[in-house]
Amino acid sequence: MSLVSVENLTKHYPERGGVFAGKRMIRAVDGVSFEIAAGETLGLVGESGCGKSTLGRAILRLHEPTAGRVQIDGTDVTSLGAAPLRAFRRKAQIIFQDPYASLNPRMTIAQTLAEPLEIHGLGGDRAGRRRRVTELLERVGLRPDQAERYPHEFSGGQRQRIGIARALAVEPKFIVADEPLSALDVSIQAQIVNLLVDLQRAEKLTYLFISHDLKIVEHLCDRVAVMYLGKIVELATATALYTRPRHPYTQALLSAVPRLTADPAERPARILLEGDVPSPSEPPPGCAFHPRCPLYAKQGKPEVCRTSAPPLVEHDGTRVACHLVS
Which residues pair with residue 43 across a beta bridge?
209, 224
E-assigned strands of 193-239? 206-210, 223-228, 231-237
The structural domains of the chain, with segments of one domain joined by +, span: 2-108+166-235, 109-165, 245-320
CA-wise closest residue to 181 among 143, 201, 207? 207
Supply the pTM of this predicted model. 0.94
Q: Are residues 200 and 172 in contact, defined by beta-carbon separation less than 8 angstroms?
A: no
CATH classification for the domain delimited by 2-108+166-235, as one of 3.90.850.10, 3.40.50.300, 1.10.1740.10, 3.50.50.60 = 3.40.50.300
Query: How far, in Å, are 7, 52, 137, 221 from residue 196 at the CA level?
Result: 27, 20, 14, 11
Give 271's DSSP letter: -
Report the alpha-carbon distance of residue 46 to residue 290 in Å, rounded.
Answer: 16
Over its length of 326 residues, how does the chain's per-residue pLDDT go in tens digits? Answer: 799 999 999 999 998 765 555 578 999 999 999 999 999 999 999 999 999 999 999 999 999 999 999 999 999 999 999 999 999 999 999 999 988 888 999 999 999 999 999 999 998 999 999 999 999 999 999 999 999 999 999 999 999 999 999 999 999 999 999 999 998 999 899 999 999 999 999 999 999 999 999 999 999 999 999 999 999 999 999 999 999 999 999 999 999 887 655 555 666 688 888 888 899 999 999 999 999 999 999 999 999 999 999 999 999 999 999 999 98
Q: Are residues 192 and 180 in contact, defined by beta-carbon separation less than 8 angstroms?
A: yes
